[in-house]
Structure 1
Amino acid sequence: MTTTPLADRYGRVATDLRVSLTDRCNLRCNYCMPAEGLDWLPDDSVLTDDEVVRLITIGVERLGIREVRFTGGEPLVRRGLTGIVRRTRALGDGLELSITTNALGLARTAAALAEAGLDRVNVSLDTVRRDTFETITRRDRLHDVVAGLEAAQAAGLGPVKVNAVLLRGTNDDQAGELLAWCLERGYELRFIEQMPLDAQHGWSRTGMVTAEEIFDRLARDFTLTPASEPRGSAPAELFLVDGGPGTVGVIASVTRPFCGDCDRVRLTADGQVRNCLFAREESDLRAALRAGAGDEEVAGRWVAAMAGKRAGHGIDDPAFLQPDRPMSAIGG
């Protein structure tokens, strides 16, 4: 079978597939969605387990995908998750499989996910203070996240990575505290600049805590030195903490964009290809699947969708418009 790379007109090739399994979430983080939640996708518009696995299979066998990360919403609320992971693992041991999760329920499922073939987890956690966690997520569930992290580590889903967003006036004074907590437990922390992907469209550049501010806050407690290995297509700039071996990463998607090295493509829960996190256009693969299209035709549509990828996300452009879909409906 001939493999056709998912290449764009700038020479970038997508090998990392992010698959959103649901737009639903059991937290209500205030930088992502309103307290009352959102109007979820109708059940019949969401890809079935078989459709998800078929598209992943096309991506791996025909289009050169080498990494698959399952996202949401919150992927752990997808009932068929373990089966999807198991069937994806059957496509090859060399495939890297991971999940981005808020870790609610991970204590129950980590062992089964590891047994099914998942390699590792990224857990979203912005604070280790119970009151701040409740302020941000509108839920008193920090203990469940901590238990989920511990279970993931015990199940061998490592390295366990933690993704954190600093919010001005809420947790931006806790960067050093969170890093110390992660280092003590062997988790790899990544700070991420807040991106304009909230459902409320309330993001502002002036309100965002920048990478430079993150470095300033960490420098109060730690000495950071750049890690020796090149970043490549990885989004995080990696630093040794106090000489190592512990590290911390900073993902400066807004102020230090890495679009030129992007190797990602996204599939939404309702079967739309997004060639950029900030794209305002999507390409419908679900309709083709349900109309009886063969794998070759679906692959061709996917290749065509990638060809139109823009050079960058354009956040600095005065004409930039935030995507209509929020992060919870796109997948990270």
Structure 2
Amino acid sequence: MLVDSFGRVATDLRVSLTDRCNLRCSYCMPPEGLDWLPKPELLTAEEVVRLVTVGVERLGVTEVRYTGGEPLLRRELTEIVAATAALRPRPEVSLTTNGIGLARLAGPLAAAGLDRVNVSLDTIDREVFVRLAHRDRLGDVLAGLEAAVAAGLAPVKVNAVLMRGINDHEAATLLRFCLDHGYELRFIEQMPLDAQHGWRRDDMVTADEILGLLKDSFDLVEDDPRDRGSAPAELFLVDGGPARVGVIGSVTRPFCGACDRVRLTADGQVRNCLFATEESDLRAALRSGATDDELAARWIAAVRVKKAGHGIDDPSFLQPGRPMSAIGG
């Protein structure tokens, strides 16, 4: 098992398949993009599957979520999903995506064994979308959401980040849109993971502010917190339910004490925390002939030293050198 010194057990594996993305969301990367990882440094599809297999069969991983960058840009995605779904014991297999290309791939991914998707959608206003993402692709994202529902990738979850003065006025509009379409909305506080290192706490729309914006239009009642478990979102029944909305207060309402996640980057580095400043290299070991037992031992050691929390409130906090696009969600 992947157990840290505080007794937390990592069962949820987030795997980045690429650092590339076809959007340029301002809370993630600059409009001109970034220097992408050279292809030889990326794990091959076979290497991804081997490491995931070690995690599932030897280390107790029960959930595998593929992320990026934008994972739909990975050509072998369907084959990777199929190989993951074929593992025993079978993990839950999910995907976090910006939705561009999902209209074409939702059906094949569902057939390969994908269980569900999280789609990032910060606005339903085309002009605001272009301002945030620096690309005119809102129609593609909306089509991807519809295709996910048609393919049975339920529940379809929507992730939204509110930016002060840009889209924070759309909180209630986004929730109404998701309620009307049967999507489950999760608002996420903006985190210090942008490539530009321009994040400022005072600029962030906090969880309390998000709830205040929603309560102007909806009656919200906190769902039973005992059902939350290790999930990052605090859930609220909307207008008596059964529909719910979630708020992920990663900064102001941290949930580190119940965290069950571990991350594998696209170049084969284990990260025991989203905000970790150190990584453990599995790619080098794998390519030098390490056995599955040796890979598992390295992974166990990497998780064992996980810190108690992300430390954003600590004066000594340092933003990770890698941005979110290179870490994976």
TM-score normalised according to structure 1 size: 0.98
1:69 paired residue number: 65
Query: Which secondary structure does the structure 2 equivalent of 1:98 belong to?
Result: strand
Percent identity over paired residues: 72
Q: Is 2:272 aligned against 1:275?
A: yes
| CA shift for structure 1 position 93 | 6.6
**Out of 291, 294, 303, which is 1:294 matched to?**
291
**Out of 233, 237, 243, which is 2:234 matched to?**
237
Q: What code does the residue aligned with 2:127 have?
A: D
Q: Is 2:110 aligned against 1:151?
A: no
User: Does the 8 Å contact 2:270/2:279 carry over to 1?
Assistant: yes
Q: Distance in 2 between matches of 1:246 and 1:67?
A: 24
Name the stretch that deviates more: 77-86 or 91-100: 91-100
Q: Distance in 1 between matches of 2:241 and 2:214?
A: 15
2:313 paired residue number: 316
User: Does the 8 Å contact 2:57/2:89 carry over to 1?
Assistant: no
| CA shift for structure 1 position 231 | 1.0
Q: Distance in 2 between matches of 1:248 and 1:186?
A: 11
Q: Distance in 2 between matches of 1:92 and 1:226?
A: 36
Q: Distance in 1 between matches of 2:291 and 2:242?
A: 49
| CA shift for structure 1 position 197 | 0.1
Q: Distance in 1 between matches of 2:89 and 2:61?
A: 13
Residue-by-residue CA offset, 1:185-231 (whole Å, 9 max, x unaligned): 00000000000000000001000000010011001100100112521
Q: What code does the residue aligned with 1:202 have?
A: G
Residue-by-residue CA offset, 1:302-323 (whole Å, 9 max, x unaligned): 0000011000000000110000
- Return 5+ residue gaps in structure 1 as ranges: none
Residue-by-residue CA offset, 1:77-134 (whole Å, 9 max, x unaligned): 0000000000011103741000000000000000000000000000000000111011
Q: Distance in 2 between matches of 1:221 and 1:241?
A: 10
1:85 paired residue number: 81
Q: What code does the residue aligned with 1:257 have?
A: P
Q: Distance in 2 between matches of 1:255 and 1:124?
A: 21
**Out of 83, 88, 100, which is 2:96 matched to?**
100
Name the stretch that deviates more: 208-217 or 92-101: 92-101
TM-score normalised according to structure 2 size: 0.99
Q: Distance in 2 between matches of 1:94 and 1:38?
A: 36
Q: Distance in 1 between matches of 2:262 and 2:158?
A: 22
2:202 paired residue number: 206
**Out of 264, 280, 284, which is 2:281 matched to?**
284
Q: What code does the residue aligned with 2:200 have?
A: S
Q: Distance in 1 between matches of 2:155 and 2:206?
A: 26
Q: Is 2:34 aligned against 1:45?
A: no
**Out of 106, 117, 127, which is 1:110 matched to?**
106
Q: What code does the residue aligned with 2:164 have?
A: R
Q: Which structure 1 residue ranges, 4+ long, deviate > 2 Å from structure 2?
A: none
User: Does the 8 Å contact 2:56/2:89 carry over to 1?
Assistant: no
Q: C-alpha root-mean-square deviation of aligned residues, in Å? A: 0.7
Q: Distance in 2 between matches of 1:283 and 1:102?
A: 28
Q: Distance in 2 between matches of 1:15 and 1:150?
A: 30
Q: Distance in 1 between matches of 2:78 and 2:244?
A: 30
**Out of 54, 61, 75, which is 1:58 matched to?**
54
| CA shift for structure 1 position 152 | 0.3
| CA shift for structure 1 position 294 | 0.4
Q: Distance in 1 between matches of 2:209 and 2:175?
A: 15
Residue-by-residue CA offset, 1:271-293 (whole Å, 9 max, x unaligned): 00000000000000000000001
| Count of equivalent residues | 328
Query: Which secondary structure does the structure 1 equivalent of 2:251 belong to?
Result: coil
Query: Which secondary structure does the structure 2 equivalent of 1:13 belong to?
Result: coil
User: Does the 8 Å contact 2:29/2:195 carry over to 1?
Assistant: yes
Query: Which secondary structure does the structure 1 equivalent of 2:117 belong to?
Result: strand
- Return 5+ residue gaps in structure 2 as ranges: none
**Out of 156, 165, 173, which is 1:160 matched to?**
156
2:168 paired residue number: 172
